[in-house]
Structure 1
Amino acid sequence: MSDIKLDSTRTAMKEEADDLERSTLSSSAKDLHSIETQQKNLAEKYGIREKRLQWKIDLCVVPALILLYFAAFLDRINISNAKLYGMEDDLGLQGNQFNIALTVFFVPYVVFELLANYLAKLFRPHWCFSISIFVFGCATIGCGFVKSFGGLVTARIFLGIAEAATFGLIFYILSSYYTPRQAQRRFSFFFSSTTLAGAAGGSIAYQIYNGIGNKYLANWRWIFIIEGAATVVIAFLLFFITPDFPETARFLKDNERIYLKEKLQLYSKVESGFDVHFTWRDYLPLLRDPIFYANALAYMGLVVPSYGYAYFATTIIKLLGYTAVSAQQHSVYPWLVAFGYINIAAFVSDYVQNRWCFILSSSLIAITGLAMILGSDDPHVKYGGCFVSAMGLYSAMPALICSTSLNLGGHLRKSFGTGFQIGFGNIGGIIATFLFLPTDAPTYHRGLGTSLGFVALSIACQLFIVIYLKRLNTKKSKPDYVTKFEELPRREQILRGDRAPGFTYML
């Protein structure tokens, strides 16, 4: 009899849980339907054709940012191609000097990332972008004329300072234009430009090797000069085409700006706070929020193996028995496969409205690929591991950054959160440059093993973020939290952004 009663109790509890889940899903569906109805009413009110405006935003925002970062990423990783063609010998680099040249790029990058986001609020982003990329291009050209280790380090420092105004600011702007249902495929399509830059970098270097013969300049110098000159030209174009924040975007009409602002507020249920002036002092309380550190550590755990791959994949492939030129060709293919996977995963993520499932699964794919390279002596398995690693790493990163950006409400927290995540996370770039040392070739056991550990760290932080945000959603729904929040001054409520009771974190 007791067994029958126990089974009956379990059945009743299961039915109750199922009813609660259906009720929650039903409530969520009703909320979404209500928001979509209000959005249609807004469109009619301001005379907006939603699909036409969405196409306009996509065409004016995403391609310009892709072009910007394509140029920046290409100039960032071309030093690995130059290394293949004799840069170390020509400059007389010894010991870890090449790794030091890689490292100095990230030091100013970490320091200036948050500052760049702050300045973008004071000065228009298109000014920040175009000046940054112009300096970036000039510094890259300078790399082509350096005569010593000191000259290379100096040029790389200027590269790091210049790029500090790009990556974090890009995601800050992207998250200001799109709703949670639209964002992931835009973020990932943008981020996939890094994989194309990786593929293009190898292809361009290959063409330079075959197409340029000059007794005055070595071929590796032409990699920097040609790509740097192209970046300088792009910088002038970026001044006219890169977007500002929606509130001041040059390509939007007045009614479109108002509509977009109110539409985004419908989904986030908090004000953007663009018109509220904030200073560095307003950043200080945010340093006590654990979510920013968890986001940054999760990102850093992916940055370490990602930069390790970007800088050293061609060298690893060459050590498998290919010549420098053949290694350059074979390094292109994993980037192209990663490009396709990133965008497919992003469309599915937006369709099912789930982020963390894809972040975690992509991280596990990355671990599989790194383990293939580390654990096998078969060159074909190692090369296959390059494909799997690139797919996992470069799809997990945009999904993580997208989730971070969309789970931050208001300009203050978006500005700080994106800058802190990218800046602090790029400490991983410093670590990565010393993981794959020449003394560890050809197996690179230390570098690959450490990379596996950092991906595991990222997964642990991802799980913490999911649990923490779920608890915050529950906490913010309680009456005492709502009462305390409503007692705050109006400015404080706006600056707190996603901590408002109406904001629901995506899980």
Structure 2
Amino acid sequence: MHSFSDDRKHSEVEYVNYVDESGSDLPKFSDKLPTSGEIEARIEELAEIHQVNRRKLQWKMDLMIIPSICLLYVLAYLDRINMGNANVYGLAKDLNLHGNQYNVALTVFFVPYCIFEVPSNILLKRLSPHIWLPCCVIGFGAVALSQGFVKNYGGLLATRFLLGLLETGMLPGCTYLILSWYTRDEAQKRYSFFFGSTCLAGAFGGLIAYGVHQWDGAHGLRSWQWLFILEGAITMFCGICFFFIIADFPETARFISDNERAFIKAKLSLDQGDSRHEDSSLKNYLKPFKDPKIILSGFVYFGLIIGAYGYTYFAPAIIKTFKYSDVKTQVYSIFPWIATFGVSMILSFVSDWTRMRFPFMALMIFVGITGFAMLLGFEPDQVNARYAACFLICMGMYAALPLSITWFTLNVAGHYRKAVLSGWMIGFGNIGGIPSTFLFETKDAPKYVRGVATCLAMTGWSFLVGLLYFFILYKANRQKRSGKADAKWDSMTDEQKKLAGDLNPSFIYSY
């Protein structure tokens, strides 16, 4: 998480308070950012003013917000990645798929998924989370269920496209909801747990796939069909429940009192600034792209996504090359995900405690690289070593991803810069899902040299770009602490300062 310099002249902040339409006392700052200690002290004052018990309110928020969005995203991820488990049970054979048609079906998902993230967030804001998100969940649950009844390649393509369209708002919508309730310091632990929960989807997918094997042939349906039907039905049922449990934005949420609502609004304004008077023109959204840090974040995420989805979609196929039965393949696919969830949670707490992200992200990237290298180096009959490589790949990729997202998110400030970062990083990064679906083809079994080597190279690429990002932050922090950035800041107009966000000399980047 980022911290603010406590020992330089920019830590002196003038508080200018104003009263909003509801009568709440909201803080507003001059062009110098406050230190983290000053923010915490002021939040304590706000809690006293609004007569709010911060600890009780935090527990209430965590209970009402985090579990539901974690479950929501687990369901979305589960319905997205179950193709690998279904293919073990004969999906491609039963639908008479030839050549790379199975890979194309995987790819189609990412086309609408990468395009419609921003429109989805607009609808989220207009319709409210407890309406829009459950509607999406019920929708992609119904599509996932319908995959159990497709009869040919065209039907599979149509359902995969609709699945990507309806899932497009899940990740940006949930992250947007977290930012709408928590300050930056509060949000980091919630981000870590939210992104780490995706590991459970892989474990549940293998467990459900193992369970439906006994239904093979029941009512004339194959195991892979029952897999889609069951997971889709579970998703639809949870979607209906989400209408009653998904939290709205603080302005309209029912589970908080009016004084708690006013406190949250004041606290967020203090931490994130007030941007209501900013000009919402296109040029203001384009300016952040001049910052190489913004661009590099998308490149890092892109490389990690290729390795992550490469493993996710084809891990069952890799494990099946160990000469396991279909059922045993599903069982053995569960354990790397369970281990990954534990590692991801441990690293989230350690990185929060140390207030550092890059060292742990780099460590897990090297773990993933080691796993890919082991798959390349060991022969197909060296089953134990290759299965150990699956653990390393899964842990490396899916522990590095949440660390990278949290690192990039906490190193940006300002309304426009945050909007551009999240849209660019997630939108561009997920394009990596497209090439990842073509890396592992049946003709390359059992070693899948081309796919594994590409994943290894792109994971290494992410490390190198992340290292460049780190040195850019290091150089920027040195300039800010030495005062060299002051001249450029002083030459800015008031409008430019208002849009500068983390470019403010008082904002110290985290590592």
Calculate the TM-score normalised by the size of structure 1. 0.88
Hey, what's the Cα distance between the residues in 2 that align with 1:141 and 1:506? 44
The answer (yes or no) to whether the contact 2:103–2:437 under 8 Å persists in 1 is yes
Offset of 1:279 from its aligned partner?
5.5
The answer (yes or no) to whether the contact 2:414–2:502 under 8 Å persists in 1 is yes
1:453 alignment partner AA: A
Offset of 1:159 from its aligned partner?
0.7
Hey, what's the Cα distance between the residues in 1 that align with 2:446 and 2:181? 46
| 1:257-272 alignment, distance < 5 Å | 257-266=261-270, 268=271, 270-272=272-274
Offset of 1:463 from its aligned partner?
1.5
Cα shift readout 1:195-254 (whole Å, capped 9, x = no counterpart): 111111111111111246414222211111111122122222223322344455443333
1:59 alignment partner AA: L
Cα shift readout 1:355-408 (whole Å, capped 9, x = no counterpart): 111111111111112212221222111101111111111111011111222223
1:72 counterpart (76, 81, 86): 76
| 1:20-419 alignment, distance < 5 Å | 31-211=35-215, 213-266=217-270, 268=271, 270-273=272-275, 278=280, 282-377=284-379, 378-419=382-423
Bigger shift: residues 438-447 or 39-48? 39-48
Offset of 1:57 from its aligned partner?
1.5
Hey, what's the Cα distance between the residues in 1 that align with 2:137 and 2:118? 17
The answer (yes or no) to whether the contact 2:215–2:222 under 8 Å persists in 1 is no
Return the structure number with greater helix share. 1
2:170 alignment partner AA: T
The answer (yes or no) to whether the contact 2:411–2:509 under 8 Å persists in 1 is yes
Hey, what's the Cα distance between the residues in 2 that align with 1:259 and 1:351? 26
The sequence identity of aligned pairs, in percent, is 42
2:285 alignment partner AA: Y
Distance 1:282 1:161, change over 3 A: farther
Hey, what's the Cα distance between the residues in 2 that align with 1:254 and 1:273? 23
Offset of 1:277 from its aligned partner?
7.2
1:480 counterpart (455, 470, 487): 487
Bigger shift: residues 232-241 or 79-88? 232-241
Offset of 1:126 from its aligned partner?
3.3
The answer (yes or no) to whether the contact 2:364–2:395 under 8 Å persists in 1 is yes
Hey, what's the Cα distance between the residues in 2 that align with 1:438 and 1:464? 37
Offset of 1:494 from its aligned partner?
4.5
Offset of 1:465 from its aligned partner?
1.9
Offset of 1:505 from its aligned partner?
2.6
Which residue number corresponds to residue 434 of structure 2?
A: 430
Distance 1:173 1:471, change over 3 A: farther
Instruction: Report SS of the residue matched to 2:74.
Output: helix
Distance 1:504 1:22, change over 3 A: closer
Distance 1:356 1:348, change over 3 A: same
The answer (yes or no) to whether the contact 2:340–2:395 under 8 Å persists in 1 is yes
Hey, what's the Cα distance between the residues in 1 that align with 2:144 and 2:59? 34
Which residue number corresponds to residue 449 of structure 1?
A: 453
Hey, what's the Cα distance between the residues in 2 that align with 1:274 and 1:234? 36
Distance 1:236 1:281, change over 3 A: farther
Distance 1:194 1:232, change over 3 A: same
Offset of 1:449 from its aligned partner?
0.7
What is the total number of aligned residue pairs between the two structures?
Answer: 479
The answer (yes or no) to whether the contact 1:114–1:420 under 8 Å persists in 2 is no
Bigger shift: residues 405-414 or 197-206? 405-414
The answer (yes or no) to whether the contact 2:124–2:133 under 8 Å persists in 1 is no
Instruction: Report SS of the residue matched to 2:422.
Output: helix
Cα shift readout 1:62-81 (whole Å, capped 9, x = no counterpart): 11111111111110011111
Instruction: Report SS of the residue matched to 1:107.
Output: helix
2:474 counterpart (462, 470, 473): 470
Instruction: Report SS of the residue matched to 1:456.
Output: helix
The answer (yes or no) to whether the contact 2:486–2:505 under 8 Å persists in 1 is no
The answer (yes or no) to whether the contact 2:69–2:246 under 8 Å persists in 1 is yes
Hey, what's the Cα distance between the residues in 1 that align with 2:191 and 2:92? 36
Hey, what's the Cα distance between the residues in 2 that align with 1:392 and 1:274? 41
The answer (yes or no) to whether the contact 1:139–1:155 under 8 Å persists in 2 is yes
Hey, what's the Cα distance between the residues in 2 that align with 1:172 and 1:287? 21
The answer (yes or no) to whether the contact 1:272–1:409 under 8 Å persists in 2 is no
The answer (yes or no) to whether the contact 2:216–2:222 under 8 Å persists in 1 is no
2:280 alignment partner AA: F
The answer (yes or no) to whether the contact 1:175–1:402 under 8 Å persists in 2 is no
1:301 alignment partner AA: G
For the aligned residue pairs, the C-alpha RMSD in angstroms reads: 2.5
Which residue number corresponds to residue 25 of structure 2?
A: none
Bigger shift: residues 176-185 or 394-403? 176-185
Hey, what's the Cα distance between the residues in 2 that align with 1:353 and 1:306? 25
Hey, what's the Cα distance between the residues in 2 that align with 1:177 and 1:502? 24
Hey, what's the Cα distance between the residues in 2 that align with 1:372 and 1:272? 51
Hey, what's the Cα distance between the residues in 1 that align with 2:409 and 2:92? 40
Instruction: Report SS of the residue matched to 2:351.
Output: helix
Which residue number corresponds to residue 17 of structure 1?
A: none
Offset of 1:275 from its aligned partner?
7.3
Distance 1:470 1:317, change over 3 A: same
Offset of 1:168 from its aligned partner?
2.2
1:484 alignment partner AA: S
Bigger shift: residues 176-185 or 395-404? 176-185
Offset of 1:259 from its aligned partner?
2.4
The answer (yes or no) to whether the contact 1:272–1:494 under 8 Å persists in 2 is no
Bigger shift: residues 314-323 or 39-48? 39-48
Instruction: Report SS of the residue matched to 1:337.
Output: helix
The answer (yes or no) to whether the contact 1:101–1:153 under 8 Å persists in 2 is yes
Instruction: Report SS of the residue matched to 2:82.
Output: helix
Cα shift readout 1:316-346 (whole Å, capped 9, x = no counterpart): 1110121111010011000000000000111
Hey, what's the Cα distance between the residues in 2 that align with 1:184 and 1:390? 22
The answer (yes or no) to whether the contact 1:61–1:242 under 8 Å persists in 2 is yes
2:386 alignment partner AA: K
Hey, what's the Cα distance between the residues in 1 that align with 2:282 and 2:249? 20
Bigger shift: residues 248-257 or 383-392? 248-257
